[in-house]
């Protein structure tokens, strides 16, 4: 009987574990990332743990890059094309030329390449012409991996390689002073294109022409740029009816009296009438010179006045931009303030405190956060959807309080990532990616006032294929829809879906088409949008985009503030409202 009881108890424990697994909500984890194993790079980060955890945290994060004992080379290298190689070369040479001694460390080079959007965009371009031809020819269902997801995977792949170089033990001491040395270092993580391709041959020939041509070509490029800018300034300054150059050309005719004197000396003979005619012409030229000199002086004065006016306008513009930047930094510093001792204790207990994984540490209505989810706020961890959704809820509570204190302020609404999942049928095998308004037709009943067209902003967190987080914002009064992606993708598919949504919503609720449809702007990620420099902080950036934009504050934070941003998210969740 003892043996039977033992087996029965073990079966009961297994059943209980299965029930607990079913209760666990969907989370953004590495186990759900599609086709990660097929990546051409095979860092230790990609080798997901096989241990069974209720809340696995191993994802595309670069925790392995932060290890102290980094290997000398990776198992598999990333294959890049010739265009990406040429961009990497240009970025490196620009960096080398910007330094005084034309030297840089491996860490500096890897950091600069990781922040280069040109490299990421070139490497992440997906060629779907062949797939599109097969779909049209055989009418295959669109079940292949979305181009956006594949492009994002390639971005993470390349930035992960550069991060591996950053975290290498010798990255701070290794000095790189030429493209050959840089290429040798990059060979640890990158597989360069075949030298027989046309683009590769062009790059190779440019190198064989001379080792010293690198810095000279960069210097020449900068000199040409300065010359172009100088010519633009001169053209603007000399944009008067009669320019100095014209009058100087007119006044530069040869003096005929000198010509006559030379003729007399050489020929010893000259007619008197010709000599008098020459004197008359000289007198006329002298009078013309007086007029020319007066016109030149007038043109010089106009030029000085114009230059002074341009300088004043540039100063005013620069002063206004500086004032706006200082104001944005001041407002941002109030958001990124230093926490007091009591708040630091709350943060430490929330992120690093002990307890069961399923322990609920924060709750607001039907939404709650478990301790295992709070632990994803540790540095180097991916945020799951529970943290991001709850933080957006805290932002909504703060926005409600701000509107109560300021009657002139208009409300904003914060959707969950399930909105995009529903409206685009993501995960549906038969119609994945297809826009359907009817799936979210009733969602506007939960917005303040039950009318999205009376809102100031609508903010959406978007989960791209269970591997990357971005944010989208509809500025209702400004008639603008914008994507904010810390990896720099344009998010065109989501822009079109959200624009279609507001048109269908207006037709459904107002019974008329959306007015001024042509006035709406669809804006992809801008160049000044803050960028992440690793593979695990996209969720934090998505939260901070919503945090700053919901308070009409400029996005002045960067990668250096991310750990403080993680603490800010934890404190907001624990306090039940986003901190001001």
Please, what is the Cα angle at 438 between 432 and 443, to 5 degrees? 105
Q: What whole-number distance in Å separates Cα of residue 160 and Cα of residue 164? A: 6
pLDDT band at 183 (very low <50, low <70, confident <90, very high): confident
CA nearest 460: which of 498, 502, 490, 496?
498
Predicted local distance difference test score (pLDDT) of residue 579: 87
What average pLDDT does the chain have?
75
Sorted by where each begins, the domain ranges of the chain are 78-223, 241-334, 341-575
Q: What whole-number distance in Å separates Cα of residue 516 and Cα of residue 513? A: 9
CA nearest 416: which of 456, 386, 453?
386
On the question of pLDDT at 60 being above 60, the answer is: no
Instruction: Please indicate, yes or no, whether the overall pTM of this predicted structure exceeds 0.75.
Output: no
Structure tokens given for 504: 């269908």
Please say whether the beta carbons of 270 and 263 come within 8 A.
yes
On the question of pLDDT at 173 being above 50, the answer is: yes
Predicted local distance difference test score (pLDDT) of residue 225: 59
Please say whether the beta carbons of 110 and 165 come within 8 A.
yes
On the question of pLDDT at 90 being above 50, the answer is: yes
Please say whether the beta carbons of 22 and 15 come within 8 A.
no
Higher-scoring residue by pLDDT: 137, 113 = 113
CA nearest 424: which of 460, 398, 449, 394?
460
pLDDT, tens digit, 9 for 90 and up, residues 251-300: 444 444 444 444 444 444 445 555 555 666 666 667 677 777 777 777 77
Predicted local distance difference test score (pLDDT) of residue 17: 63
Helices (H), 251-365: 256-267, 272-335, 341-352
Q: What is the mean pLDDT of residues 501-521?
A: 94
Predicted local distance difference test score (pLDDT) of residue 28: 42
Q: What is the mean pLDDT of residues 332-343?
A: 76
Predicted local distance difference test score (pLDDT) of residue 565: 93
Higher-scoring residue by pLDDT: 528, 309 = 528
Predicted local distance difference test score (pLDDT) of residue 315: 76
Q: What is the mean pLDDT of residues 176-198?
A: 80
Predicted local distance difference test score (pLDDT) of residue 277: 59
Q: What whole-number distance in Å separates Cα of residue 349 and Cα of residue 359? A: 13
Q: What whole-number distance in Å separates Cα of residue 82 and Cα of residue 431? A: 36
Q: How far is CA 410 from CA 461, 534, 559, 576, 579, in A?
A: 21, 36, 31, 22, 19
Tell me, rounded to whole angstroms, the distance of Cα 557 from its chain centroid.
13
On the question of pLDDT at 13 being above 70, the answer is: no
Q: What whole-number distance in Å separates Cα of residue 459 and Cα of residue 481? A: 10
Higher-scoring residue by pLDDT: 497, 67 = 497
Of the listed ranges 72-86, 153-167, 254-268, 314-328, the least confidently predicted one is 254-268
On the question of pLDDT at 51 being above 50, the answer is: no
On the question of pLDDT at 115 being above 50, the answer is: yes
Q: What is the mean pLDDT of residues 183-193?
A: 87
On the question of pLDDT at 29 being above 50, the answer is: no
Q: What whole-number distance in Å separates Cα of residue 135 and Cα of residue 132? A: 5
pLDDT band at 540 (very low <50, low <70, confident <90, very high): very high
Higher-scoring residue by pLDDT: 322, 434 = 434
On the question of pLDDT at 106 being above 90, the answer is: no
Of the listed ranges 67-71, 231-235, 386-390, 524-528, the least confidently predicted one is 67-71
Please, what is the Cα angle at 529 between 533 and 426, to 5 degrees? 80
Higher-scoring residue by pLDDT: 520, 248 = 520
Of the listed ranges 68-82, 105-119, 334-348, 562-576, the least confidently predicted one is 68-82
pLDDT band at 523 (very low <50, low <70, confident <90, very high): very high
Predicted local distance difference test score (pLDDT) of residue 138: 42
Return the DSSP state at 59: S
Higher-scoring residue by pLDDT: 195, 108 = 108
Of the listed ranges 95-99, 518-522, 524-528, the least confidently predicted one is 95-99
- Fold classified for 341-575: Adenoviral Proteinase; Chain (3.40.395)
Higher-scoring residue by pLDDT: 494, 320 = 494
Helix 272-335, helix 213-237: angle, nearest 10: 110
Higher-scoring residue by pLDDT: 179, 317 = 179
- The CB density around residue 371, as the number of other CB atoms within 10 Å, is 19
What percent of the chain clears pLDDT 70, i.e. is strictly above it? Answer: 65
Predicted local distance difference test score (pLDDT) of residue 205: 54
Predicted local distance difference test score (pLDDT) of residue 123: 84
CA nearest 389: which of 408, 363, 358, 409?
363
Structure tokens given for 106: 């491996």
Torsion of CA 236, 237, 241, 246, to 10 degrees: -110
Phi, psi dihedral angles at 378 (to 5 degrees): -65, 150
Tell me, rounded to whole angstroms, the distance of Cα 394 from its chain centroid.
26
| Residue recorded with tokens 């102290």 | 68
Predicted local distance difference test score (pLDDT) of residue 171: 82
DSSP H or E stretch at residue 3: helix 2-23
Alpha-carbon dihedral sign for residues 430, 431, 436, 440: positive
pLDDT, tens digit, 9 for 90 and up, residues 422-433: 999 988 888 888
- The CB density around residue 65, as the number of other CB atoms within 10 Å, is 23
Predicted local distance difference test score (pLDDT) of residue 572: 94
Higher-scoring residue by pLDDT: 130, 437 = 437
């Amino acid at each position: 009987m003892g043996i039977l009881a033992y087996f029965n108890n073990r079966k009961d424990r297994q059943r209980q574990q299965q029930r607990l697994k079913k209760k666990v909500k969907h989370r953004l984890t590495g186990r759900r990332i599609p086709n990660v194993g097929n990546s051409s790079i095979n860092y230790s980060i990609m080798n997901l743990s096989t241990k069974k955890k209720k809340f696995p945290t191993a994802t595309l994060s670069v925790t392995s890059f932060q290890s102290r004992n980094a290997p000398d080379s990776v198992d598999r290298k990333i294959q890049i094309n010739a265009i990406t190689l040429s961009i990497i070369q240009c970025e490196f040479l620009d960096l080398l030329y910007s330094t005084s001694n034309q030297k840089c460390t491996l860490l500096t080079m890897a950091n600069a390449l990781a922040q280069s959007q040109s490299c990421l965009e070139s490497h992440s371009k997906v060629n779907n012409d062949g797939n599109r031809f097969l779909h049209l020819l055989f009418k295959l269902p669109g079940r292949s991996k979305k181009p956006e997801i594949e492009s994002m995977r390639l971005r993470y792949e390349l930035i992960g390689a550069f991060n591996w170089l950053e975290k290498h033990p010798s990255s701070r001491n290794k000095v790189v002073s030429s493209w050959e040395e840089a290429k040798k270092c990059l060979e640890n993580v990158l597989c360069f294109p075949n030298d027989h391709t046309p683009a590769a041959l062009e790059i190779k020939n440019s190198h064989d022409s001379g080792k010293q041509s690198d810095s000279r070509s960069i210097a020449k490029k900068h000199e040409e740029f300065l010359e172009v800018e100088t010519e633009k300034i001169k053209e603007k300054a000399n944009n008067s009816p009669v320019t100095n150059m014209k009058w100087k050309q007119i006044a530069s005719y040869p003096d005929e009296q000198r010509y006559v004197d030379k003729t007399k000396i050489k020929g010893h003979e000259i007619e008197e009438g010709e000599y008098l005619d020459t004197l008359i012409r000289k007198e006329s030229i002298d009078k013309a010179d007086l007029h020319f000199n007066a016109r030149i002086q007038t043109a010089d004065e106009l030029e000085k006045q114009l230059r002074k006016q341009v300088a004043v306008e540039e100063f005013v513009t620069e002063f206004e931009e500086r004032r706006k930047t200082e104001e944005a930094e001041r407002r941002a510093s109030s958001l990124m303030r230093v926490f007091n001792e009591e708040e630091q204790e709350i943060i430490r207990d929330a992120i690093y405190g002990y307890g069961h994984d399923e322990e609920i540490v924060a709750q607001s209505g039907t939404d709650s956060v478990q301790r295992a989810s709070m632990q994803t706020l540790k540095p180097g961890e991916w945020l799951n959807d529970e943290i991001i959704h709850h933080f957006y809820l805290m932002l909504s509570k703060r926005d409600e309080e701000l509107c109560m204190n300021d009657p002139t302020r208009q409300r904003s609404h914060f959707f969950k990532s399930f909105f995009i999942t529903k409206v685009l049928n993501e995960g549906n095998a038969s119609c994945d990616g297809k826009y359907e308004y009817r799936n979210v037709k009733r969602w506007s009943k939960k917005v303040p006032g039950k009318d999205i067209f009376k809102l100031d902003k609508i903010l959406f967190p978007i989960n791209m294929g269970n591997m990357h987080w971005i944010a989208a914002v509809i500025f209702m009064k400004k008639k603008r829809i914008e994507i904010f992606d810390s990896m720099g993708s344009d998010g065109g598919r989501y822009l079109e879906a959200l624009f279609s949504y507001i048109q269908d919503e207006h037709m459904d609720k107002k019974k008329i088409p959306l007015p001024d449809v042509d006035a709406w702007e669809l804006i992809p990620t801008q160049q000044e949008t803050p960028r992440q420099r690793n593979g695990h902080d996209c969720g934090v950036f998505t939260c901070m985009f919503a945090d700053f934009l919901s308070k009409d504050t400029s996005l002045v934070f960067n990668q250096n503030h991310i750990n403080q941003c993680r603490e800010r998210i934890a404190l907001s969740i624990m306090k039940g409202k986003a901190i001001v």
